Amino acid sequence: MRSPISGWTGKILHIDLGTGEMAVQRPSRRLYETCLGGRGLAGHFLRPVCSLEINDPDLPLLVFAGPLTGTIAPASGRGTIMSRSPLTGAICDSSVGGRLATQLKRAGWDGLVITGRAETVCGIEIRDDAVRVTPTDLAGTTTDETFDRLAQAGPRGMAMAAIGPAAENGSPLACVMADRHHAAGRGGLGLVWAAKNLKFITVKGTGKVNVHDKDGLRQAREDILRLTAASPVLLGKHGFSCWGTGALFDLMDARRMMPTNNFAQTRFAQAGRLNAAAYKAAYGPRRHGCTGCHILCKKIADDGRAMPEFETMSHFTALIGNTDMDLVMQANTLCNRLGLDTISAGATLACFREIMGENFTGRTLIKALYDMADGSYLGQGSLDFAQSCQRPELSMSVKGMELAAYDPRGAYGMALAYALSTRGGCHLRAYPVSHEILRKPVATDRFTFSGKARIIKLAEDANAAVDSLGVCKFVFLAAGLEEYAKAYTAVTGVAVSGPDLMAAGERICYNERIMNAHNGFDACDDDLPPRFFTEEGSSGSGIDIPPIERAAFLEARANYYRIRGLDADGNPTRDTAIRLGLEPDR
Ligand code: SF4
């Protein structure tokens, strides 16, 4: 049956793995228009139960697509996996690429709300309206074995998502892998799957997404394609399409903000021979990407292995003192097979190395990754390990989630963005790299907090809207919400402007703040590891990397709280919640 509304399918599927019961919910149009989809809609379903423990069967695992997913809107093949983070206790959503979200929409579902705990390890198979929960003998298998087995038995073009041994052995660094090469990496969401005894989800849809105004969508698409074609960062000869996100590697080193030796330094002397060009020469990668994307920033080596993303290239070299490129390839492949988040895994190894004073060899590095996935102490993350050694300050994390590959002493917007992110040490919530380093859409001074509080708040709102539409953030290095508002209007028939989408994003961010505050997070958690305020980075070549001035950071954070409508402790206020149309918490 065709959806009575355009863009959304109008149906959300609730699956209780404990009882096997399923129920179809048809949300009001108003709910869709308020939350958009993806991260926004998932956050709506998480809010009433956001304090439940990870092992509580009633804690939902949420898998959502956006209203643009499954249409010809460029780079709209992204979805959201969301729950409470086993790593941090905060809310956690992770954008997932590949085919998952697109197939979900084609199968007729805007999202899945999965609760309960199956008696034995199981999978969910979705074939349009036909959905079944099936026991599986895939428990304990690596993700590549799982995908091989599922692909043999399933229809061509089917989407697959699965967890690996890391999740099944209890590691809060566990990710979810989708379609072999795509990760919903951060925050340990794989462990939520394991807590439900859920090993995999496969989806194959044969339907189409209703589009209200096909000509309008074609026009919006043309506009966006024109803008991306003119973007050196995306489609230029040094951009993501040619080199993957590894294109950032040289830039971060040249800007002296490459996290080195557990963020003790910001320059890695051997970086020049570990860059994207070196990988290209060694592994002959080809382009790969998410459904419907023309940028194709993912890269697959000539032997079929996924090439590491920039974050992995950086954390498995500079951060841990490794200069062996092939070891990075091995580590990346192993993390994917075991279902480990490469960013948190690399940063946890770096923390271990600094505290224990032990360098890694190829053998000990690979063994450490296997140990992590076996549920050893290192598999609990850097903060847990550093605390057990009475050195919590050496966990380079925010809210317990390890920082990505941008040293905040080299970009003060990033310092604020890391500290304030609702999911912990995340670079993508506001992605200030765009203006501080890539100079898009307009360049800002990377060594000042001046104006950054407002910029970070607006970028968070924009990215929340982007995640909720089902679109890739990278496109916004070229296009804006104005262009995507036209696409959204054409797809759904709901007339919106860029500022309308920003307002939706603001609501989504505030809802997340309310959930985190409900779970006890406040200003104490919106902070950076002390190293960044007391130690200088690797100054040189005319670039000074001093410690961040703490008073300036605190002033910028206070400005952010004011602009975001929070109180002085970073807590949501009743007035702002009501102004945004959200239920105040208490
Ligand atoms: S730019 Fe990369 S991550 Fe984004 S949708 Fe395209 S292939 Fe996926």
User: What's the length of the chain?
Assistant: 586
Cβ of 428 closer than 6 Å to ligand 1, yes or no, is no
Ligand 1 centroid to Cα of residue 505, in Å, is 21
Both structure tokens of 569: 């402790």
Cβ of 292 closer than 6 Å to ligand 1, yes or no, is no
Which residue has the CA at smallest separation from atom 2 of ligand 1?
A: 297
* Mean pLDDT, residues 113-141 taken together: 98
Q: Is residue 185 pLDDT above 90, yes or no?
A: no
Q: Is residue 2 pLDDT above 90, yes or no?
A: no
Note the pLDDT of residue 3.
Answer: 63
Question: Which ligand 1 atom is nearest residue 78's CA?
Answer: 5
Strand 91-96 to strand 397-398: parallel, antiparallel, or no bridges (unpaired)?
unpaired
What are 293-317's pLDDT values in tens digits?
A: 999 999 999 999 999 999 999 999 9
**Could you tell me what percent of the chain has a pLDDT over 90?**
98
| Confidence class for position 435, pLDDT limits 50, 70, 90 | very high
* Mean pLDDT, residues 142-155 taken together: 97
Ligand 1 centroid to Cα of residue 459, in Å, is 19
Pocket test for ligand 1, best of 295, 467, 484 (most atoms within 8 A of CB): 295
Ligand 1 centroid to Cα of residue 299, in Å, is 11
Q: Is residue 586 pLDDT above 80, yes or no?
A: no
Mean pLDDT (the chain, rounded): 97
Both structure tokens of 501: 């989408």
Note the pLDDT of residue 5.
Answer: 84
What are 241-273's pLDDT values in tens digits?
A: 999 999 999 999 999 999 999 999 999 999 999
Q: Is residue 475 pLDDT above 60, yes or no?
A: yes
Cβ of 289 closer than 6 Å to ligand 1, yes or no, is yes
Note the pLDDT of residue 428.
Answer: 94
What are 493-530's pLDDT values in tens digits?
A: 999 999 999 999 999 999 999 999 999 999 999 999 99
Q: Fold for domain 12-204?
A: Aldehyde Ferredoxin Oxidoreductase;  A, domain 1 (3.60.9)
Element containing residue 310 per DSSP (H, E):
helix 310-315
Cβ of 295 closer than 6 Å to ligand 1, yes or no, is yes
- Please tell me the distance from the alpha carbon of residue 557 to that of residue 551, in angstroms, as a whole number: 10
Ligand 1 centroid to Cα of residue 297, in Å, is 5
Pocket test for ligand 1, best of 78, 80, 181, 472 (most atoms within 8 A of CB): 472
Both structure tokens of 365: 């590095």
Ligand 1 centroid to Cα of residue 217, in Å, is 20
Both structure tokens of 433: 């790299």
Other C-beta atoms within 10 Å of 251: how many? 16
Pocket test for ligand 1, best of 287, 298, 428, 469 (most atoms within 8 A of CB): 298
193 near 177, Cβ under 8 Å? no
Listed residue (105, 95, 76, 9) closest to 221, CA to CA: 76
Backbone angles phi, psi at 34, to 5 degrees: -75, -45
Which residue has the CA at smallest separation from atom 8 of ligand 1?
A: 290
Cβ of 369 closer than 6 Å to ligand 1, yes or no, is no
Radius of gyration of the chain (CA): 22
Domain boundaries, the chain: 12-204
- Please tell me the distance from the alpha carbon of residue 163 to that of residue 138, in angstroms, as a whole number: 10
Which residue has the CA at smallest separation from atom 4 of ligand 1?
A: 472
381 Ramachandran zone, left/alpha/beta (phi>0; psi -120 to 50): left
Which residue has the CA at smallest separation from atom 7 of ligand 1?
A: 289
User: What number is the ipTM of this complex?
Assistant: 0.99
| Confidence class for position 440, pLDDT limits 50, 70, 90 | confident
3-class secondary structure, 283: helix
- Please tell me the distance from the alpha carbon of residue 217 to that of residue 76, in angstroms, as a whole number: 13
340 near 174, Cβ under 8 Å? yes
Q: Is residue 4 pLDDT above 70, yes or no?
A: no
* Mean pLDDT, residues 52-62 taken together: 98
Cβ of 298 closer than 6 Å to ligand 1, yes or no, is yes
Pocket test for ligand 1, best of 179, 293, 469 (most atoms within 8 A of CB): 293
Question: Which ligand 1 atom is nearest residue 75's CA?
Answer: 5
Q: Is residue 1 pLDDT above 60, yes or no?
A: no
161 near 100, Cβ under 8 Å? yes
**Could you tell me what percent of the chain has a pLDDT over 70?**
99
3-class secondary structure, 122: strand
Cβ of 75 closer than 6 Å to ligand 1, yes or no, is yes
Cβ of 235 closer than 6 Å to ligand 1, yes or no, is no
Note the pLDDT of residue 377.
Answer: 94
Q: Is residue 487 pLDDT above 60, yes or no?
A: yes
Cβ of 203 closer than 6 Å to ligand 1, yes or no, is no
Question: Which ligand 1 atom is nearest residue 234's CA?
Answer: 1
- Please tell me the distance from the alpha carbon of residue 112 to that of residue 275, in angstroms, as a whole number: 40
| Confidence class for position 365, pLDDT limits 50, 70, 90 | very high
Listed residue (501, 447, 450, 445) closest to 471, CA to CA: 501
Other C-beta atoms within 10 Å of 581: how many? 10
Question: Which ligand 1 atom is nearest residue 97's CA?
Answer: 8
Cβ of 563 closer than 6 Å to ligand 1, yes or no, is no
